[in-house]
Amino acid sequence: MIILGIFVITVLSFMLMAMLDMLVFQQPYLKVFVHLLPVYPDTSTIFMFLVAFAMAAWVQYGMTERLKKRYGGKNSNNQSGEKRDAKQS
Amino acid sequence: MPSKVNLIDTFTMQLVFLLSTAIIFGSPSLVPDSWLVGIIAFFPACLLIVLYCAMLSSKEDMGLYPLLERAWGKVIGKMFILVYSTYFLYIAARNIRDMIELIMSILLRITPVPMLTTLFVFVIAYCALGGIHAIARFASLILWIILFMLATLAVLLMFSSSIILEQMLPFLSKGLWPVVQTAFKHSIWFPYGEIIVFLVFQPQLGGAKRMRKVTFYAFVTTCIILSATDLIQVLTLGIENKKFSVFALLDAARLINIANIITRMDALIALIIMFGTLLKCAIFLYAAMVGVSRIFKKKPEDYAFSLAMLAGAFSILVTRNSAEHVTEGLKYVIYTLHIPLQLLVPLLTLILLRIRYRKGATT
Amino acid sequence: MNLDNHGHGEQLSSLERVKQFFQSKFGQTTDLAVVSISIGSYEGLLCYLTTMTSSDFIKKQVLKELASPEVSSPPTKEAVFQQLGNNHFAGLTHEVVTDLEQLPPKIVLGYGIILIEGVPMALAVDVRSLNSRSIEEPTTQNVVRGPKEGFTESADTNMSLIRRRFNNVNLRFEKFELGYMTHTAVYIAYLDGEVDTEIVDQVREKLKQSHIDSLFDSGRIEELLHSKGKGMQLFPTVYNSERPDAVCRHMTNKRIAIIVDGSPFVLVVPSIFTDFFKSPEDEYQWFVIGSFSRYLRYFAFILSLTVPALYIAVTSYHQELIPSILLTSIAAQREGIPFPASIEILLMEITFEILREAGTRMPRIVGATISIVGALVLGEAAVQAGVVSNITVIVVSLTAISGFVAPIYTFGSKVRFFRFGMIVLSSVIGLYGLVLGCCLLMIQLTRIESFGVPYLSLFSKWDKRSVT
């Protein structure tokens, strides 16, 4: 759902910016929209979008928890031990 | 019940929010005597408070998003929530762009923009993660810095004898009417109208009663400080110079020169702007987070970093050059975004709520 | 155990059986004294740990009382205990125990157990008398003016130091035991009526739910008392002090003190940012001087955070911000230095950290060597050899001195880490990075909550009375 949310917001924002550009440049909507897409000449924003979606996916699939479960041997030993004990008692 | 934010913290948060970007651009210099614009815009801006508070109090102080849902029904309400979230994110992106342009022009000329933006955006996300309480406390910290720096600036300008009272003249050369016109066209919507974002957090901020008082005082203080800085700009730069300067306060600060030791105070201004923009964007981002999470059902915190990243990317895409940025900001954003979303939609919502609420009360 | 089948009283009444039981519980430990005594005409037994008491105490307080003439001619065996408890040991903590299993824990805590053949009860008397350091002047928080007493390692002494400052019925001490292996006594102290009961409950809950195996210093539970889930704990939220007057001062401001047996550092929760900049001495002076030195500390804190980063940012990115005269003098000094400013600063900072670490861990007698090596070799010689510039040495020493101004050691030690972060940020993107770093720190400061109390809030109404 988080990825979907981010996607919807991205599309909406693009539409909004295209609308403003249409008013500023007095050009047809579709043309402005295509111009707005970050394909050329400035490609750096593509990476920013990718990072945004990657982070959304990270939260969506709870990667922090998973990594902790798999590799969290020494680091969080004390804390997880505490929690487990607390649950048992 | 969520605990309420401290009254003074709310005030300072709104004050910093209103001041942050407005202070650098000042009132739009479309007319001479632009410092009067701020004062005149204050009065109609107070009507906005009345409107927002009426909207809030009609349904026991819910936030903006639940109110929209109540008024327009599930589907249209949700669409409006999405629109508002996008709107908030878009303003945040514009503010980031403003700040980055400024930084590029004073501090770092060759560092790649995406890098600057990304770093800034992460800080914003981290700020927004703390929730409105932490943001409010952060604001009260920033306010002192901003006020201190502004006071320093004024004093230094005075000592470097850059303030020349005659530059205020000719006073009201074209009469009062153009001033009033600009006030209505621009200053009401920016910065005062942007206060609508605080409607989102009303459950934590204390509802209509508190908002009426706090926001009014915040408006008064903003009006005074903004007019004062505008006046300083006019007095130092002169009417003509101010008209053609994009970052007027910055140009004013450049004039400081005390014994050739204290020079280049414009870096100081850049810092003010950075702090202010950070806070403003954090508030907008948090509002967008709340909106998106209301529709897509997760904690607002889950969206923080991704939405911040989006805002950063949009801040680069939003305009191609400064000229487009300024015309867009002064004209089209106001007519197509600010006026509908700050005035029309709330007004319609209020009317709808009143009708529905009355119906609900009788049945 | 088979013994459980019999009634508890029966076990206690047979001295032989008790001896066997202790043998099986304590094993071969040499400090367990099981002494056969005679109370009047009855045969009795006295058990205690010799390491938890002194023979003097046993002789004067216990054996003398047992030999007194009233005890010698009691009406019945049971009445002996009553008499002993009410008359002879009334001044000591004592209780009558009827369960054999309860005795070993009591003995470990320093109780002496008195048993009489044929009586199904045991009298446990607190005979603990431990050697501890006498009250001395605190070493970490020095003051010129003010009380010179410091806490010691004994929790009893520490509690009495607090109690003697509050002649107030509302002062409460509560005891907890922490640690699977050590069963360390932990006390919380607060002024009933002043303190928020919710916070006390939270503290109790946290102490009860702690699962640690050993506890030798209060630093260990400092971690437990951090509120989790409010961002990383980059700043200490638990105040610690060696000074009773500082702790008591905080207790009057709704705080809770936590005393750990064996640690001279008493903790105070919830603590806020400003606490770490207050020295108890501020209040014993004329208030103007007190607040002046406090603001000086804040200033030094900011200096120690930003000065090296600012230097790097300004010299390598924003030369135009420096007045030109200063710029030329800096440039002249840096002439011939092989490293860029950031590496130079990092080099010196790390050297300083090593020096500091060596200085604190070294035996005191060798300490003088460190300062000679540090000052002469690394300061003078490095500049003369052209490895670092003079101004770098000035910057690093300024930050180093400012870093030590914080009255609480733990606070100063955390600040050092941020300084390195700032240095890295400003060497990458100059002033912009420095400001972002400052923003991050400020956000972090305002985000932390300690037991629901905002860590840094300019308009907090939580402890109104602490406004000085």
**With left for phi above 0 and alpha for psi between -120 and 50, is residue B161 left, alpha or beta?**
left
Structure tokens at C28: 């071969």
- Give the pLDDT of residue A88: 35
Residue C70: the pLDDT is: 65
Residue A84: predicted pLDDT:
37
Does the CB of B85 have a partner CB in chain A at under 8 Å? yes
- The letter for the amino acid at C418 is F
C448 phi and psi angles, rounded to 5 deg = -65, 140
The pLDDT, as a whole number, for residue C194 is: 82
pLDDT at B30: 63
Q: A: neighbours with 3+ CB pairs under 8 Å? A: B, C
Q: Which residues of C touch B127 (CB under 8 A)?
A: 439, 443
**Hey, which residues does C172 pair with through a beta bridge?**
C190
Amino acid identity, residue C410? T
pLDDT at residue A68 greater than cutoff 80: yes
8 Å CB contact of A55 and B306: yes
The helix or strand, by DSSP H or E, that contains position B147, with its residue range, turns out to be: helix B131-159
Write down the pLDDT at residue A83.
38
pLDDT at C124: 84
How is residue B49 written in tokens?
Answer: 């408070």
Residue B55: both structure tokens together:
């909207």
Nearest chain A Cα distance for residue C211, angstroms: 6
Q: What is the CA radius of gyration of chain C?
A: 30
Q: Is B315 on the interface with A (CB under 8 A)?
A: no
Backbone angles phi, psi at C146, to 5 degrees: 135, 170
3-state class of A61 per DSSP? coil
Across C289-313, average pLDDT: 90
DSSP element (H, E) containing C367:
helix C367-372
Asked whether the beta carbons of B194 and B91 are under 8 A apart, the reply is yes
Which tens digit of pLDDT belongs to each residue from C246-269? 899 888 888 899 999 888 999 998
For B148-165, the pLDDT digits (tens) are: 888 888 888 888 877 777
Closest alpha carbon to C249 in C264, C237, C239: C239
Task: With cut-offs at 50, 70 and 90, classify the pLDDT of residue A81.
Answer: very low
pLDDT at C463: 56
Helix boundaries (H) for B58-73: 64-72
Tell the residue number behind the tokens 């905080």, with chain if given.
C250
The 10 Å Cβ neighbour count of residue A81 is 12
Q: Report the alpha-carbon distance of residue C340 to residue B40 in Å, rounded.
A: 54
Q: Residue C182 to residues A16, C48, C111, C224: CA-CA distances in angstroms? A: 66, 19, 17, 17
pLDDT band, very low/low/confident/very high, at A11 (cuts 50, 70, 90): very high
Q: Which chains touch C (3 or more CB pairs under 8 A)?
A: A, B
Nearest by CB to residue B336, choosing from A8, A23, A52, is: A23
* Mean pLDDT value of segment C186-191: 91
Query: What DSSP designation does C215 have?
Result: -
Residues of chain B whose beta carbon is less than 8 angstroms from a beta carbon of chain C are 6, 8-9, 12, 103, 107-108, 111, 115-116, 119-120, 123, 126-127, 129-130, 133-134, 137-138, 140-142, 144, 260-264, 267, 271, 274-275, 278
Q: Kindly tell me if the per-residue pLDDT of C146 is higher than 60.
A: yes
Tokens 């102490």, located at residue? C207
Residue with more model confidence, B220 or C64: B220
What number of CA atoms fall less than 13 Å from residue C312's CA on the CB side? 31
Q: What percent of chain C has pLDDT over 70?
A: 92
Report helix angle B300-317 to B74-106, nearest 10.
50
Kind of pairing between the strands at C171-178 and C122-126 = unpaired
Give the mean pLDDT of C452-468.
64
Assess contact for B212 and B17: CB atoms under 8 A: no
Where does residue C384 fall: left (phi above 0), alpha (psi -120 to 50 degrees), or beta otherwise? alpha
What per-residue confidence (pLDDT) applies to B31? 67
Average pLDDT over all residues of chain C: 82
Look at residue C188 and give its three-state secondary structure. Answer: strand
Domain segments of chain A as ranges: 2-73
Nearest CA in chain A to B83: A12
Residue C96's H or E segment, with its range, is: strand C94-97
Domain locations along chain C? 2-126, 155-271, 288-454
Question: Are A45 and B313 contacting, i.e. CB atoms less than 8 angstroms apart?
Answer: yes
Taking CB atoms and an 8 Å cutoff, what residues of chain C touch A86?
209, 211
Task: Tell me how far apart the alpha carbons of residues A19 and A28 are, in angstroms, rounded to a whole number.
Answer: 10
pLDDT value, residue B362? 46
pLDDT-derived band of residue A43, with 50, 70 and 90 as boundaries? confident
Reading the block at residue C71, the tokens are 């005890």
Yes or no, beta carbons of B310 and A49 under 8 Å apart: yes
Q: How confident is the model at residue C461 (pLDDT cuts 50, 70, 90)?
A: low
Q: How would you label A51-75 residue by residue, b for 16+ Cβ within 10 Å and e otherwise?
A: bbbebbebbbeeeeeeeeeeeeeee
The structure tokens listed for B160 are: 């470097």
Question: Which residues of B are less than 8 Å from A16 in CB distance?
Answer: 86-87, 90, 337
pLDDT value for B27: 63
Long-range contacts, B352-359 (Cβ 8 Å, 24+): B352/B71, B352/B72, B353/B55, B353/B58, B353/B59, B353/B67, B353/B70, B353/B71, B354/B58, B356/B70, B356/B71, B357/B58, B357/B59
Cis upstream peptide for A41 (omega within 30°): yes
Is pLDDT of C455 > 70? yes
Question: Of B112, B296, B314, which is closest to A1 when you measure between CB atoms?
Answer: B296
**In terms of CA atoms, which chain A residue is nearest residue C205?**
A86
In the predicted model, is pLDDT for residue C80 greater than 80?
A: no
Number of helical (H) and strand (E) elements in chain C, helices listed first: 18, 12
Interface predicted TM-score of the whole assembly (ipTM), two decimals: 0.88
Nearest to B138 among C325, C446, C459 (CB): C446
Residues A56 and B174: their CA atoms lie apart, in Å, by 54
pLDDT at B285: 94
Helix (H, G, I), strand (E, B) or coil at A7: helix
Instruction: Tell me: pLDDT of C325 over 80.
Output: yes
In angstroms, what separates the C-alpha of A82 from chain C's closest C-alpha?
Answer: 6
Residues in A closer than 8 angstroms to B309, CB to CB, are: 48-49, 51-52, 55
Residue C1: its pLDDT value, please? 39
Q: Show the tokens assigned to C138.
A: 């605190």
Q: In chain A, what residues touch C226 (CB-CB under 8 Å)?
A: none
Q: Which residues pair with B258 in a beta bridge?
A: B262
Tokens of A65: 């928890």
Residue B362 C-alpha, separation from nearest chain A C-alpha, in angstroms: 39
Dist. CA C225–CA C194, nearest whole Å: 20
Q: State the chains in contact with B (3 or more Cβ–Cβ pairs under 8 Å).
A: A, C
Domains of chain B plus CATH, in order, are: 7-339 (1.20.1740.10)
Q: Quote the pLDDT of residue A76.
A: 41
Residues of C whose CB is below 8 A from B264 = 320-321
pTM above 0.90, yes or no: no
- Tell me, what's the pLDDT at C238? 87
Digitized pLDDT (tens) for each residue of chain B, 363 residues in all: 356 777 888 899 999 998 888 887 766 666 667 778 778 888 888 888 888 888 888 766 678 888 888 888 889 999 999 999 999 999 999 999 888 888 888 777 778 888 889 999 999 999 998 888 889 889 988 898 888 888 888 888 888 877 777 777 777 767 778 778 777 777 777 788 888 898 888 888 877 888 888 889 999 999 898 888 888 888 888 777 777 777 777 878 888 878 777 777 777 788 778 888 999 999 999 999 999 999 988 888 889 999 999 999 999 888 877 778 877 877 788 888 888 888 888 889 888 888 877 755 544
Where do the H-state alpha helices sit in C317-403? 324-334, 341-361, 367-372, 382-384, 390-403
Q: Tens digits of per-residue pLDDT, C391-433? A: 888 898 898 888 888 777 777 777 778 888 899 999 988 888 9
Cis peptide before C270 (omega within 30 of 0): yes
| DSSP one-letter code for C114 | E
Instruction: Say which of B108, B144, B260 has its CB closest to residue C432.
Output: B108
